[in-house]
Amino acid sequence: MVTTLPSDQLTDVPAEQVAAESARRRTIAVISHPDAGKSTLTEALALHAKALREAGHVHGKAGRAGVVTDWQDMEKQRGISISSAVLQLDHRDTVVNVVDTPGHADFSEDTYRALTAVDAVIMLIDAARGMEVQTRKLFGVCKQRGLPVVTVVNKWDRPGQEALALLDEVESVTGLRPTPVTWPVGIAGDFRGLLERSTGGYVKYTKAPGGATLAVEERMDAAGAEAAEGDAWRQAVDEHELLAATGADHDEEEFLGFRTTPVFFTAAVANTGVGQVLDALVDIAPSPRDQRDVAGEVHPVTSRFTAQVFKTQTGMNPAHRDRLAFARIHSGVFHRGMTVRDDRSGRPMVLKHVQTVFGSDRSTVDVAWPGDVIGLVNARHVNVGDTLSENGRTAYPPLPVFAPEHFRTVRPKDLGSGKQFRQGLRELDAEGVVRVLTSDSRGDGEPVLSAVGALQFDVVQYRMTHEFRSPVLFTELPFTTARIIEAKDAPLLRSHRGCEVVQNAEGRVFALFTDEWRVRSFERDNPDVKLEELVATSD
């Protein structure tokens, strides 16, 4: 999936070659409300790209394996994604990097950070439920970042809304004009096949036994489709002609300008309609674009190597318990053994142990290009948001940091597991699973954990027990909000009722308040003290 170059050609790769390799990359994220089928769609994309022989299922139904992107035990047991995962696919001489994101709002910080590492998104909506709350919020982030959106209506093999009504909902919620590329033949729950609007041809599907392999496709012209499907075909043609009469046809400039969204209909669990989505990623999704650094300077994809870390993950290799830092390459060429510098710490790094990932599977990478996601093995001093660059002077804008709303103290159930307890919390803090905060009064034996959503504490409990061998006990705290403060103001805030002062691993100091009324009360009484909100992005 990567281009191999002789070692003596890696020090000075022509800009033309970097541009060519960048042009054949597509880096996209799949977003949606929980249970719309993100992981199943990602699995089906991998099957159509021939990266898998059989597609799994989120719940392992009918004897099928689980999906490759939900590799953590907790994900398999609960049937939900709790962490972003990356797949690299080859299709039609194009490298498609797919980031499967968590849908649950409690893990939205992970999802929002993943969106900083992609150039477009697939917005997946359930045929029955339409545009749900979390999908709407995530779309707002895509709008803020100007990420082109491909809309996929999934689960058309189950009862649901009318296709035209779903298009109206997408347009009313997003402001983007839907331009269907495929159109369903048969109502939701009676999925016969697809009318391909660019040709007027028909693709009839027959689900493979068990649904783990590609559905059988039979292509027909309009006459054959009418003979085979009758009224269902004629209704699809009437709706297609209505769409054409209103100008609802794909236009690449309008799509890339964030004014329209191409629409596809699928039944991902049956691997139906997914091939057209994969082709569209090659044909219409944008390749990597030039990026601006924190100073506003534009870095073309052909400039020297730069990359930004957007997540870290431990436990992918239980035998070695190593840590992987995921970095999206923004410019230049990566080659194994190169020296880069971390913008935050200023430390030089020799990138010897670097891998590409496919779910939890990993392989060593020698060369990678703009748009690719690489994993830095055991780069323990690298944090989420850090920029790595060849020139040592580049820094990209910081990644989102969400305001926590849930706080609990944590302590080991077994006092003899203190070493595992501290190591586990350090790793989970570095990943962003939760934020670990300490105070002078509590010490590091019973730190405070802060989270966006309560489900994050379940992840901590599970991973501390099964991965780090240190079961933990929680005590809920009454705090609901946090503010960043200056260290000099800590004594005053410690004396304020309904407030506790804590700090994170980087030494940043925070004041925790029981409610917003306490915040306003303190600000009224102490107008000279600065309380800074943690705001990452708007909904």
Domains annotated on the chain, with CATH: 25-283 (3.40.50.300), 291-389 (2.40.30.10), 406-533 (3.30.70.3280)
Residue pair 154/132 in contact by the 8 Å Cβ criterion: no
Q: Is 100 annotated as a binding residue?
A: yes
Strands 448-451 and 406-412: antiparallel
HEC per residue, 130-178: ECCHHHHHHHHHHHHHCCCEEEEEECCCCCCCCHHHHHHHHHHHHCCEE
> What residues does 314 pair with on adjacent strands?
323
Instruction: Please tell me the predicted confidence (pLDDT) of residue 191.
Output: 96
CA 25, 29, 30, 34: dihedral to nearest 10 degrees?
A: 160
> Which residue ranges of the chain lie beneath pLDDT 70?
1-11, 53-83, 103-107, 315-321, 359-360, 535-539
Structure tokens at 176: 């983007």
Instruction: Please tell me the predicted confidence (pLDDT) of residue 207.
Output: 85
Structure tokens at 144: 């803020």
Q: Is 330 annotated as a binding residue?
A: no
What does the radius of gyration of the chain's CA atoms come to, in whole angstroms? 25
Q: What is the separation of C-alpha 24 from the centre of its chain, rounded to a whole number of angstroms?
A: 21
Instruction: Please tell me the predicted confidence (pLDDT) of residue 318.
Output: 58
Instruction: Please tell me the predicted confidence (pLDDT) of residue 539.
Output: 37
Q: What is the pLDDT of residues 9-26, one digit of tens each?
A: 345 789 999 999 999 999
Edge to edge, the sheet with strand 481-485 lists 499-503, 509-513, 481-485, 532-533
CA 172, 175, 179, 182: dihedral to nearest 10 degrees?
A: -60
Give the whole-angstrom CA distance, residue 469 versus residue 22: 43
Q: Is 429 annotated as a binding residue?
A: no
Q: Is 471 annotated as a binding residue?
A: no
Q: What are phi and psi of 500, to 5 degrees?
A: -135, 140
Structure tokens at 130: 């339409």
HEC per residue, 421-483: HHHHHHHHHHHCCCEEEECCCCCCCCCEEEECCCHHHHHHHHHHHHCCCCCEEEEECCCCEEE
For residue 284, the tally of other CB atoms under 10 A from its CB is: 18
Q: Is 27 annotated as a binding residue?
A: no
Q: What is the pLDDT of residues 27-47, one digit of tens each?
A: 999 998 888 888 889 989 999
